[in-house]
Structure 1
């Protein structure tokens, strides 16, 4: 077995093959004297972060690099009101009491994810690595007017670096724990005044940090390949087109769709039967029991980073994405066109019994093609009225398959419970927003509205597969269902600028997440066929401020979200010829609320001393959530009214301190400390002791050296130095409460060069 914290040796000569972004503010001036200004596009136009009356956290490329943030999973380290969970290849972000639970093709994510303005429709697409990224924006609260589609809890917008008119290149190599090796880079080529080219790439491998019973069964490794080509064409000062193509491949082991271990079961010790109100036992339920009491079940390995199954978990993801952002400046009006096409497929499997017993293999394969087109007309100028109107079209065609309880790896084996479907979504939306300076440079009022209509068609199909579980053919059966969902969402806002550096704002807005279907009803008419949209009405007041000659930035927001008809996921037990499994069913069965306070502070109290801090106080609870079918293996109906919404800690704190020591040679050495503290929170609606994550703190340490020319850099870092392993996913399954845990302590070095 490989050394858990070992470093893999590799020649530093590969530095010439990769690149990292050039350094931001300190590239030309090592002395930091003010808080950096960041431009964001939260209102679909470029604006200073402090001028936008929206609660948004923006992370620059330098911030991502300085915190080893390679994808969405570590963004929570620096973002208030945001937590992150993951199971297998599926991202499960949560914002202000809205979490991502339904990750299947039967529904939609509850938090929008956009890359270079193009909508990503599947939860696993949100794990795309950050390569040559200019900025990450986390917009908190519903964004139902300008972004619209399924931005029910908020929005995550990724902006990659576009080609520029100056030559630039760089390289970086990262070596770290679990034999991590990452090589990434970019080169920007100004071919002419009107044509520029930018190429970025990443190759990363790492051993799995969850250990199996043998080396080949370790899980959560990395085998990532990514490349992107961008072309900017600007033949006239008015016309600009930025075309991008990216290819992303994620292979190796996965982490199972619903967790890789069982955390326990609840048993009534007097009867020996399942009882959700009984005592927790660290046992795994195994069929058949042949009359034996449950408390004589199989003990669980206490190590949270241990996978006890005999199935080699596989993650095989491939995405090809094309986009075109075109704009033409007509003078008073700017026309924009945003086109996206994505060809995406992902396969993942699981060991259904979490043991060395052969068989009981689950798996899922999804293939999709999506096309989106957005047209915008926006005002351009310094007048009192700003406005934007647009039309959005989206089509997604999916081939989805799921198999369970297979005695061998081949899904066509007799005894497999197999389902396949061909869902297709077509969405049309029109939107508009206008802002008016009622008092020039002081009071501005904004109103916006969006109308969305989604049509969802689901066709049942028969499928054939090979011995490796992969689809070879899909044939529709003729069974088809059609659902249409529509909603009007709106936003009103008022902002008052006390002066150029201080602003107060108040907002009321609505959002919705589209309805969907439950695929299991094809074969089990007792299951509900469809579920409707869920809606939210949100209220927010806030303040954005700069003080002390731009040395202190302080942003504060208070909010209240009222949720109606929440789509909640329940696990139903399904009996098959070879045993039992569970299926997820979505119901509109809950009303809830969340309210809280969020504070973000950035400061340079003295030259070269950088301080950042954020605090979140939140309450997120179900107001009315009754007659809930008990989880799989348990009986009766439960009342979750008053329970906490999962992934919603009542207190979250983040802090970061760094100091730039300028040496006599002109080189800069910067030690940095980052701290994340979270109060406890539950991970299922049931709110049990087995899905409770206790309060915890994580500390990251980093020391960087940058030479006098600002071309070369060396970093030493350790993430989660206290080795605090936290639960980030739990759900009830046929064997008990399935669990998945976050990464342990990881450390490494990074060498970079910029040209």
Structure 2
């Protein structure tokens, strides 16, 4: 650990020493170099990032490309207060002590995910690749007024490039480790002044970086296809309609639903029985050893990037998404309609004994249709009053089927135990927000309110399958269960502008996430059937600043979140006639809190030298969380009061430095280094030694060349050059603590061309 702290100290020192002499000795020239301006839509209207009184990190398309950020998984390397976890096909982001834990079909994500203003309701949809993306906004803290639905911890908003009136085209080829091969490109065609067309596509393959017993059992490979068509139609200066359709598939091997390996078990060395307070053993509990000392379990392969199962893990995901963003400028007001329709299907399986023994194969297939409609009416002028009112509707209809293999039959044989659930969610909300300049260009106050009503209906069903364990039919059985959750959320804000480049702000806001049904209830009525809603009250003080002719930008925020009835995940052991497995159950923890300080710095101390730095200090703990059922295999009830909330390191630092060397022919060579440091953190509420990720640092290196015309670009990169393999998912299962690890060192080259 000392070496890791030393690496961080050296990295911070390098950034500081590189900046200070130049800032002291060189007169700035604002016409040649400054911090990049980014326009965001965090308040549902286009504004400069520095004018928005919210904690927002915005990553431009150039930043994404320079850091090999192909999807959400690497956004954390540049974002304070944000941590990314993953299990199988499900993204599990965490922001300020709020993490995505419930990925069941009848629950909702804790972090809202939006693509071109359209809400995505499933955690696995957040792994959609970034193709021809204009920017990524990470909005930290509850966004319960303007965004509303399931923005309990914050938002991640993706904006793709709109069709434009200028011809534009580009393509790139990436070749990298694990036989990575990616080709992507776009073309923008202005048919005329009224009609423009933009097409973007990606094809990417890569071998799995987690090694299986044989090559065909390697996992976490990539087999991605993506295409999007956008049409802009503007028949008059007042009317604009942007229509999009995208098709996305992910195939190949997955990464199992709850982890691909066992990290160990806790055993009382005296009695030889499971004991959560006992000694950790790096063993996998094997069912045929029932009745014998648990310390005779199967030793675990120490390689964290090894999968010992005999089942080929499968990930098969398909999404077809349509959206329409239509606006009409009435002069004093702007009307906007946002429509989204999605057809989505994902299948994934898991080898729950993590061994070469037949059986213990579980899987899940989710098929859904979702429709969302938002209507907005907003002020459209330069007066002292800005306002927006709106209505939001969302409906999601899901068919979820679950299976477990029969140990007495060959794998993939029809007739194994199947069950299904048919959840449907309907949400309606009305909202409004207004801002008023009490002192023109100096003091502005904002108030907003939203009323949300979510209705959730679920019915059990029986499912039948074909020989490949895929769903063929679902028959509803029994009565339907119906719950309605409603809540009023609000926000109040005051901002004071010291001058054109410096602002102070204070915000109090609330967030809400409705309750739901536990998926295990489909197969075992003895499990808790439902869980209640959770709420948060958030307090934030912040400052946004530009200094030194826009060469230095410093943004700060201090916050406290107070959570009530926080939704948390527990694993319950289920014994069936065909074997033993576990299921994920959501319960409510009474109280928790998180508070912290975030700093973001960008600087251009001399022309062509770009420096970025962020720091997060955070505490996230359960204040009252008692009588928790012990994890699977363990007995009794536990007290988690005082435990850390998972995915919440007490300190996180990011740093980046790059310099543009202009050559005699006008081309530019840029070396760039990026550092991510995280203090240690737990990955389960139980806070054990087996789910602790110790402090670590990761370093990315990149060398880029751009020709004088800026048409051609060549990049050589190495991500995680120190090969620091980190735990990014852990949960208790029937064989022990299931684990999943992040990617090892990745390197490659990228060739890009603009036409």
The TM-score range, normalised by the shorter chain, is: over 0.9
Structure 2 match to 1:179: 179
Task: Please give the alpha-carbon distance, in whole angstroms, between the structure 2 residues aligned to 1:135 and 1:197.
Answer: 20
Equivalent residue of 2:423, what SS? strand
Structure 2 counterparts to residues 649-728 of structure 1, below 5 A = 649-728=649-728
C-alpha separation in 1, matches of 2:287 and 2:609: 60
User: SS of 1:65's equivalent?
Assistant: helix
Partner of 2:276: 276
User: In the alignment, is the contact (CA less than 8 A) between 1:132 and 1:185 conserved in 2?
Assistant: yes
**1:218 alignment partner in structure 2:** 218
Could you tell me which residue of structure 2 aligns to residue 158 of structure 1?
Answer: 158
CA contact (8 A) 2:145 2:449 kept: yes
- Matched residue, 2:263: 263
Aligned pairs, number: 726
**Contact preservation (8 Å) 2:104, 2:518:** no
- Equivalent runs, 1:427-438 vs 2, <5 Å: 427-438=427-438
Kindly indicate whether the alpha-carbon contact (under 8 Å) linking 1:31 and 1:607 is maintained by their aligned counterparts in 2: no
Give the 3 Å change call, closer, same or farther, for CA 338–264 of structure 1 in structure 2: same
Shift in Å, 1:208: 0.2
Deviation of 1:583 after TM superposition, in Å, equals: 1.2
Partners of 2:338 and 2:253 lie apart in 1 by: 35
- For residues 701 and 222 of structure 2, the distance between their equivalents in structure 1, rounded to whole angstroms, comes to 23
**Which whole-Å CA distance do the structure 1 matches of 2:199 and 2:577 have between them?**
53
| Partner residue, 2:36 | 36
In the alignment, the residues of structure 2 paired with residue 187 and residue 696 of structure 1 have an alpha-carbon distance, to the nearest angstrom, of 41
1:639 matches 2:639 = yes
TM-score by length of 2: 0.95
Deviates more, 1:211-220 or 1:511-520: 511-520
Q: Which residue of the partner structure matches residue 457 of structure 1?
A: 457
Name the counterpart of 1:98: 98
**In 2: Cα distance, 1:413 partner to 1:174 partner:** 42
- Rounded Cα–Cα distance in structure 2 between residues aligned with 1:52 and 1:329: 23
CA RMSD of superposed structures (Å): 1.2
> What's the counterpart of residue 737 of structure 1?
737
Structure 2 residue aligned with 1:235: 235
The structure-2 alpha-carbon separation of the partners of 1:334 and 1:85, relative to structure 1 and needing over 3 Å to count, comes to same
Give, in angstroms, the shift of residue 406 of structure 1. 3.3
Distance, in Å, in 2 between the alignment partners of 1:511 and 1:409 is 49
Deviation at 1:418, TM superposition (A): 2.6
- Once residues 73 and 539 of structure 1 are traced to their aligned partners in structure 2, the CA distance between those partners, rounded to angstroms, is 28
SS of the equivalent of 1:656 reads strand
3-state SS of paired residue (1:273): coil
Q: Confirm whether residue 609 of structure 1 aligns to residue 609 of structure 2.
A: yes
* Paired residues of 2:50 and 2:545 also in contact (CA < 8 A): yes
CA–CA separation in structure 1 for the residues paired with 2:522 and 2:750: 52
Cα separation, partners in 2 of 1:548 and 1:31, compared to 1, 3 Å: closer
The 1-side partners of 2:387 and 2:221 are apart by: 47
Structure 1 regions of 5+ residues with no counterpart? 1-28
| Distance in 1, Cα, partners of 2:523 & 2:743 | 38
Paired with 1:170 and 1:215, the residues of 2 have a C-alpha distance of: 35
Q: Is the 8 A contact 1:209 1:743 kept in 2?
A: yes
Matches within 5 A, 1:230-379: 230-379=230-379
Tell me the equivalent position of 1:142.
142
The CA deviation at 1:589 is 2.6
Distance 1:410 1:290, change over 3 A: closer
Q: Contact conserved, 1:267 with 1:294, CA < 8 A, in 2? A: yes
TM-score by length of 1: 0.95
Per the TM alignment, residue 419 of structure 1 is displaced from its structure 2 partner at its CA by 2.2
Q: Shift in Å at residue 519 of structure 1?
A: 3.1
Q: Distance in 2 between matches of 1:162 and 1:571?
A: 44
On the 8 A contact 2:405/2:412 being kept in 1, the answer is: no
Displacement of 1:671 in angstroms is 0.2
Q: Which residue of 1 aligns with 2:196?
A: 196
Listed one character per residue, the Cα deviations across residues 127-164 of structure 1 (whole Å, up to 9, x for unaligned) are: 00000000000000000000000000000000000000
> Which range moved further: 520-529 or 655-664?
520-529
Partner of 1:528: 528
Which range moves more in the overlay, 577-586 or 117-126? Answer: 577-586
2:461 partner SS: strand
Pairing 1:487–2:469 present: no
Equivalent-residue separation in structure 2 for 1:702 and 1:635 (angstroms) = 51
1:463-478 aligned at under 5 Å gives the runs 463-478=463-478
Q: Secondary structure of 2:528's match? A: coil
In 1, Cα distance between equivalents of 2:444 and 2:30: 38
Q: Compute the displacement of 1:32 (Å).
A: 5.7
Shift of 1:527: 1.8
SS in 2 for 1:73: helix
Aligned to 1:391: 391
1:517-549 Cα offsets, whole Å, 9 max, x none, are 123334433322211110000000000000000
Q: Secondary structure at the match of 1:64?
A: helix
Q: Distance in 2 between matches of 1:117 and 1:569?
A: 29
* 1:625 to 1:285, Cα distance in 2 relative to 1, 3 A: same
- Partner of 2:128 in structure 1? 128
Q: CA deviation at 1:478?
A: 3.6
Distance of 2:89 and 2:536 partners within structure 1: 28
Q: How does 1:740-755 map to 2 (within 5 A)?
A: 740-755=740-755
SS at 1:406 equivalent: coil
The residue aligned with 1:506 is: 506
Q: Which residue of 2 aligns with 1:89?
A: 89
Q: Note the alpha carbon deviations across 1:558-588, whole angstroms, 9 max, x for none.
A: 0000000011111111101122101111112
Q: Tell me the residue number matched to 1:8.
A: none
Q: CA deviation at 1:411?
A: 6.5
Structure 2 equivalent of residue 51 of structure 1: 51
2:521 is paired with a residue whose SS is: helix
Question: Conserved in 2, the CA contact under 8 Å of 1:405 and 1:580?
Answer: no
Q: How far apart are the structure 2 equivalents of 1:148 and 1:410?
A: 44
Residue in structure 2 matched with residue 571 of structure 1 by the alignment: 571
SS in 1 for 2:306: coil
Structure 2 residue 67 is the aligned partner of structure 1 residue 67: yes
SS at match of 2:437: strand
Q: Distance in 2 between matches of 1:417 and 1:687?
A: 34
Mapped to 2, the partners of 1:670 and 1:588 lie a distance apart of: 50
Question: Aligned pair in 2 of structure 1 residues 32, 78: CA closer, same or farther (>3 Å)?
Answer: farther
Contact 2:644/2:687 (<8 A) preserved: yes
Superposition deviation, residue 308 in structure 1:
0.1
C-alpha separation in 2, matches of 1:289 and 1:156: 46
Q: Is the 8 A contact 1:352 1:405 kept in 2?
A: no
Moved over 6 A (4+): none
Indicate the residue corresponding to 1:11 in structure 2.
none
Q: Distance in 2 between matches of 1:693 and 1:405?
A: 33
Tell me, yes or no, if the aligned pair for 2:519 and 2:584 is still in contact at 8 Å. Answer: no
SS of structure 2 residue aligned to 1:744 = coil
Aligned to 1:231, the other structure's residue is in SS state strand
1:290 to 1:634, Cα distance in 2 relative to 1, 3 A = closer
In structure 2, the residue matched to 1:581 is 581
Structure 2: unaligned runs, 5 residues or longer: 1-28
Residue range with higher mean Cα deviation, 281-290 or 730-739: 281-290
Using the TM superposition, give the Cα deviation of residue 296 of structure 1 relative to its aligned residue in structure 2, in angstroms: 0.7
Contact 1:150 1:513 in 2 (8 A): yes
